[in-house]
Each structure stands twice: as structure tokens, then as C-alpha cells.
Amino acid sequence: MTTEQIIFLIVAGATLASGLLVVTSRNLIHAALWLVATLFGVAIVYTLLNAGFMAVVQVVVYIGAIAILFIFAVMLTRKDMRDSGAQLNSNWWAGALMAVLTFGGLFAMLRTWGGMSKTAAEIPAGFDQIAELGAQLTSPEAYVLPFEVASVLLLAAMVGAVYLAFNKK
Amino acid sequence: MNEWLYVLLFMVVGAIIPIGAIAAGFIFGPKKPNPVKRETYECGIEPVGEAWVQFKAQYYIFALVFLVFDVEAVFLFPWAVKLGALGIYAVVEGIIFVSILVVGLIYAWRKGMLEWV
Amino acid sequence: MNFWNDPLKVAAEWLEGVFVGWGMNEIASHVLVVFLGVFLLVLILMVIDIFLVWIERKVVARFQDRIGPNRLGPFGLVQPFADIIKLIIKEDTTPDGADKVVYNLAPVLSMMSVLMVWAVVPIAPVMLSVDLNVGALFLIATGAIGTLSIIMAGWSSNNKFALIGGFRQVAIMVAFEVPMLATLMIPTIFSGSMNMNAIITAQDGLWFFVLSPLGALIFLIAAIAELGRAPFDLAEGESELVAGYSTEYSGMKFGMFYAGELLHALTFGGIWSILFFGGYRFFGLEQVSPFLAILIFLAKALLGYWVIMWVKYTMLRIRIDQMLVFNWVFLTPLAFALMLVTALMNALLKDASPWLYGLGMFLSNVVVGWIAIEIARSVSRKEREKVEGVHQVAEAHH
């Protein structure tokens, strides 16, 4: 096993464990903080894939903005931070069944897939990932339309949120 | 060696130093807790009511507008890196990209959502 | 290669040789040496941090026409050590009802977020900690961890004022991160890279401050807001919120927040000097010796820190509503407009001579700044008239 694989296994385990704690925590802020840990684990996985830009973006957007948004939302909606209701409803067995089936299906599919044992490819020296990304985002032959559409999507999110908050008032 | 391992190292050392300092305080400081000392200080007099108060919707709007601009900046950074090698059309694309979002900002402003009511 | 030209490499190779001589394998000794190097850098930062307490107290004293600490040692230089001993032997209390794990984690994360920034800060031409190609965004990412630590401290303290202070601070930080992101793009456009060292190298001829003075100013304002210093220090407005998110902390845990804030200020001074004032560069002096380059960088960082202190001890605290409107309605559009104008001018003047390029950039900054101020002036005149009109009506009723 290489060092990278050992790091990956540790990080993946910690990420999954914190993911589990997100859904089992009774305290909503704790759940949000465990979510931060999960997202940070994902960022580390990105660095293992030599995708440094994605890792930083993961931290900036998910921890810097979305986690903060969640915590604000929790403080906004719940006066009592502790959830005292039942954690499972009567359909828990159907959910469990679906989860097991999905996991089984994915496991069966990926068992025969060769990409599992691969490690991240080395990036050739002098290759600037971010500049290449920039070129692809602005090139008319590549992703310029999705680039602009992303802006429209963000606009829709902003207008929607403002509209909802305005109506509540 | 992956350069991010160095960053990880900085993270580890950056955690060790404050933990060490706090541990030193824990070792050398007196430990004589009593019920009055352990009370929440708050503003100097006895706390009244729950500490976990409810917040207003404004905070949520600010966080959301920030999120939108954050994502926008993430898209714009690769654009800014490559800009020197690209022509004027890339600049125009960037201007369109930002202008679309500024419409949203103006909308939020006109609706009075950016004011602290 | 001798010690004076590349001290880190020489020292590292020597140490590695020593460790291998002791029977360690090569990878382990390399990892150990790197660990020691990082540890040394962080320790030096902490020592500087201790003296920042003294600098801050001396400077504020001078601004307020006092002398400041002058009893312990020459010029009171031993004072910060006395402060630290006092912090260490204080009792470390945790209030009842506080969320213990989160409460204790917050000061650690706060300090860690500041120390992590130094992973990408080039302190001399041959001393790059990590040569990341995402340097500028990395700064924002560490800021995200700092934001999180504040929200954790505010929430876990079981204190209304800490919670409100923490939330206000976070609202300020996220708000001013937007103009900061926009102004970070300006050096990125000039140098074609987000790498901190590439940004310094690109300031070979002209400092980016000359090309974009307005960008440097907006970055400074955003940095001061991120730090939560005056005029944006309302998260710890003593008269209304006690001490903000750090109210319930005592002893060394409070010390970590305090030291973290001071080091953060110096860090922003350093980042400001890297982005707009050429970092360790100073008319070729940095080529003489890396030690000289470190001194130049430290001097520039301290100068940036001094500017931040200057603003802090000169300005009054402004209200949160004024501040957020100032950010969202004025600073954010201005920062993005400036960034786009810079991009446009960069594309137009790409092939022009350096003199024309510099002049064009500078003038475009001046024009953008002038237009922004004119708009702000006319809007505020209208607002003022509205308010005065209301007052006149109210007086007439009396």
C-alpha cells in the first residue's frame, strides 16, 4: 500500500463516520458541524486526486458559505436546538431496504470495474490546470454557454431567496 | 511528493501550537471551580432566559447573497488566470457573467433585503 | 551553493545527513526535517506574535498621546512576556451549559486558520513554504475556517451576547469577503496566476499598487473588516455586546483569540504587501541575501500592520446597518466594476509599452474611483435631504 492509499483510507473512513453523525446527531448545530467535517474530508480527497483547485473551492464554497448558511438557517428556524422527536418514522424499513439495494447494486457494478485500483495520474510538468480550466470556460468551442448559464442559475437562486424572504415579512 | 502534504503539515503544526499553549494554561493554572464561578458570565449580572435566541431572516439573506457571489468568484478565478492569453471576447464574457449577477444584487437592494431592518 | 544564498536548503540537507547518519531511512528523515522546518517557522511567528502585543500597545499609546508599557525591561519590551505568564497561570473556566467540545475547539481553530495562511506566503525568493498554484483562493479558504471558529465560539458559550457578537462578526466577514474576492482577481489578472510567488515575480517593474491603487484600498478595507477591527469592530462593541464571541473565554483560550487576531492583522499586512507592494522585493536588494529579503518582507508586513492600526485608532465604530449597506450597495459593485475595468484595460493595452500600460491602468483606477465617489455623494445628499425633511416636519408639528 502506498502512503496515498493509507491517507485515503483514513480520510474516507473519517468522512463516512462524520456523514453518519450528521444524520444521527440530535443537536442541529452539531449536525451542521459534522457536515463541515464531512465536506472537509471530501476536500482532502480532492487533494489526493491532484485537484488542488477543486479542494480549495470545496472549502471556500461549502465550508465558507454553505455551512454558514446552514447554521444561520438553523438559528433562524428553531428556537430549541435539540430535536426531541423520533429519529425514525414508520417507513424506516423501506428506506433501509432501498439503501441496502442501492449499495448492493453499486457494489456489484463497481466490483468488475477496473478503475478501482488506479491511483491519480501524475500531472505533466508545466501544465497549468487552472489556466486550462479558464481557457475551457471561455472558449466558444467548449463551455462558454454553461459558464454564462451558471450565472443565470445563480441569479435565479438569489431572486428566489429574496422573493421568499420578502413574502414572509 | 504531493505539495498538499505540506499544507497538511501546516495544519497539524498550526493545531499543535494552540493546543500546547492551552495545555500549558491548564497545567499551570489553578483549578478551583465553584458553582458561582462556573456560571455564565454574560454581562456581569445573572443571565435571564435562554442563551440560544432566535435570529432574524436578514442573516440568512446575507449568507445567501454571499454564497451566490462566492460561487461566482470561483468561476471567475480561472477566467482571470487565463485572461492575459485570451482576447477581448473573454473580457466581454466576464462582463456579461458579472452583469447578470448584479441584476440580482440590484433586485435584492430594491426589495430592501440588504438593509438592516 | 552556500549558506547565505539558500540557508534553508543547506540546513535541510545537513540535517537530513545527520539523521541518516543516525540510522534513519531517507524518507523518514526528510519528513522529519520538513516537520521541523514548519515547526520552526510557526514558532518564529508565535514569537513575533508576542512582540506584536508590545507593538500594538506602544502604537496605540502614541496615538492616544501616552507612553505605553515602559516599566518592564527597556521600552517595556518584557511586558508581553509578563502578559503571557499571567495568561498561563489564570484559571481556565468553562461556563455551565457551554458545549464543551465545540467551546474548546474554537480557539484552536481560530489560531490554526491564521497559521495556515503562512503555508502559501513566500518570505524570501528561496523560501517558499508551499508553492501552491491556488495561493489567492487558499487565503479565502483559511478565512472560511476562521469564520467557522467564530461561529463555534459564539454558539458554544451559552451566552446571548457571545452568540449575537459571533453572528454579527460572521455576517461582516462573509459580506466583506465578496469585495476581497473581487480585488484578489486584480493581481491575478496582472500576473496571470494565483500563485503568491508568481504574483511577486510579476511585480518586477512596477508594484501593482501603482497599477491599481483603488484595488489595494478596497482590499485593505475588506481585510480590516475581516479582522473585525475598528471601524468594523462592532462584534465586540463593549457597551452593547460585552466582548462579543470571546466573552466567556478566560486564560490561554482567550489568549489564543487575542494572539490570533494580532497575528491575523500582521498576516493581512503581509498579504497586502505581497499582492500590491512586491512582497520581499525592494529594488534588487532581495537578491543579495535571503536574510535581507526576509527583513524587507517583514518591514513591509509591519508597515501594512501599522496602516491597519492607524485606521483602527483613528476611526469611530460604525453601525452594523451602515456597514452592511456600505458593503453590499457600494463596495461590492465598485470592486466588481474595478475588476472588470482592469480586465478590459488589460486586454486593450496588452501590447502597449509598459509606460502606457501603467498610465492607462492608473488613470482608469482614478476615473472609476472618482465616478464611485460622485455617485455616492449624490445618493447621500438625497438621503440627507430626506432625513432633514422629516426632521423639519417633526419640528413643525411641535
Domain boundaries, chain A: 1-82, 130-169
- Reply yes or no on whether the pLDDT at C75 is more than 50: yes
Q: Which three cell numbers stand for residue B111?
A: 426589495
Chain B interface includes C248 (CB < 8 A): yes
Can you tell me the distance from the alpha carbon of C392 to that of B39, in angstroms, rounded to the nearest whole number?
50
Check: CB of residue A34 under 8 Å from CB of residue A78: no
Q: What is the pLDDT of residues C163-202, one digit of tens each?
A: 888 888 888 888 898 999 999 999 988 888 888 888 888 8
Q: Is C93 in Cβ contact with B38 (below 8 Å)?
A: yes
Can you tell me the distance from the alpha carbon of C248 to that of C225, in angstroms, rounded to the nearest whole number?
23
Residue C128: predicted pLDDT? 66
Chain C interface includes A6 (CB < 8 A): no
pLDDT band at B1 (very low <50, low <70, confident <90, very high): very low
Residue A98: predicted pLDDT? 94
pLDDT band at A16 (very low <50, low <70, confident <90, very high): very high
Q: Is C43 in Cβ contact with B41 (below 8 Å)?
A: no
Choose the most confident range, by mean pLDDT, from A132-146, C261-275, C276-290.
Answer: C261-275
Superfamily per CATH, domain B4-110: NADH:ubiquinone/plastoquinone oxidoreductase, chain 3 (1.20.58.1610)
Chain C interface includes A7 (CB < 8 A): no
pLDDT, chain B, mean: 80
A contact test, residue of C30, C117, C134 with most A CBs within 10 A:
C134
Q: Is A129 in Cβ contact with C144 (below 8 Å)?
A: no
A71: nearest CA partner in chain B: B60
Ranking A49-53, B39-43, C116-120, C273-277 by mean pLDDT, the lowest is B39-43
Q: Is A20 helix (H, G, I), strand (E, B) or coil?
A: helix
Quote the pTM value.
Answer: 0.88
pLDDT, chain C, mean: 83
Quick check: ipTM above 0.90?
A: no
Pick from A30, A33, A128: CB nearest C133 = A128
The average pLDDT across C21-35 equals 78
pLDDT band at C237 (very low <50, low <70, confident <90, very high): low
Task: Return the closest-CA partner of residue C156 out of C224, C99, C228.
Answer: C99
Pick from C97, C119, C253: CB nearest B6 = C119
pLDDT band at A17 (very low <50, low <70, confident <90, very high): very high
Q: What is the pLDDT of residues A100-137, one digit of tens each?
A: 999 999 988 888 877 766 666 677 777 777 888 888 88
- On the question of a cis peptide bond just before residue C231, with omega within 30 degrees of 0, the verdict is yes
Chain A interface includes B54 (CB < 8 A): yes
Percentage of chain B exceeding pLDDT 90: 0
Greater pLDDT, B37 or C172:
C172
The 10 Å Cβ neighbour count of residue A27 is 15
Q: What is the pLDDT of residues C86-124, one digit of tens each?
A: 888 888 878 877 788 888 888 999 899 998 888 888 887
Chain C interface includes A131 (CB < 8 A): yes
C87: nearest CA partner in chain B: B25
Ranking A124-138, B10-24, B69-83, C300-314 by mean pLDDT, the lowest is A124-138
Q: Is C167 in Cβ contact with B55 (below 8 Å)?
A: yes
pLDDT, chain A, mean: 82
Residue C3: predicted pLDDT? 67
**Chain B residues inside the 8 Å CB shell of C350:** 84
Can you tell me the distance from the alpha carbon of B105 to that of A25, in angstroms, rounded to the nearest whole number?
36
Can you tell me the distance from the alpha carbon of C158 to that of C146, in angstroms, rounded to the nearest whole number?
20
Q: What is the pLDDT of residues C141-163, one digit of tens each?
A: 998 888 889 888 888 887 778 88
Chain B interface includes C118 (CB < 8 A): yes
Residue C19: predicted pLDDT? 77
Check: CB of residue C246 under 8 Å from CB of residue C257: yes
Q: What is the pLDDT of residues C316-345, one digit of tens each?
A: 888 877 888 888 888 888 999 999 898 888
Q: Is C192 in Cβ contact with A65 (below 8 Å)?
A: no
Ranking A51-55, A109-113, A129-133, C393-397 by mean pLDDT, the lowest is C393-397
Greater pLDDT, A169 or C331:
C331
The average pLDDT across C222-248 equals 78
**Chain A residues inside the 8 Å CB shell of C148:** 36, 63, 67-68
Tell me the shortest Cα–Cα distance from A118 to chain B, in angstroms.
Answer: 17
- Residue C279 gets the label, from left (phi > 0), alpha (psi -120 to 50) or beta, of left
The residue type found at A140 is: P
Q: Which chains touch B (3 or more CB pairs under 8 A)?
A: A, C
Q: Which chains touch A (3 or more CB pairs under 8 A)?
A: B, C
Between A and B, how many CB-CB pairs are < 8 A?
Answer: 147
Task: Return the closest-CA partner of residue C182 out of C70, C327, C397, C348.
Answer: C327
β partners of residue A27:
A82
Q: Is A133 in Cβ contact with B101 (below 8 Å)?
A: no
Can you tell me the distance from the alpha carbon of C247 to that of C98, in angstroms, rounded to the nearest whole number?
12
Q: Is C118 in Cβ contact with B114 (below 8 Å)?
A: no
Checking A141-144 for CB contacts under 8 A at 24+ apart, the result is: A144/B93
Q: Is C137 in Cβ contact with B77 (below 8 Å)?
A: yes
pLDDT band at C220 (very low <50, low <70, confident <90, very high): very high
Residue A105: predicted pLDDT? 93
- What CATH architecture does domain A1-82 belong to? Up-down Bundle (1.20)
Chain C interface includes A22 (CB < 8 A): no
Residue C244: predicted pLDDT? 75
A contact test, residue of B66, B68, B92 with most A CBs within 10 A:
B68
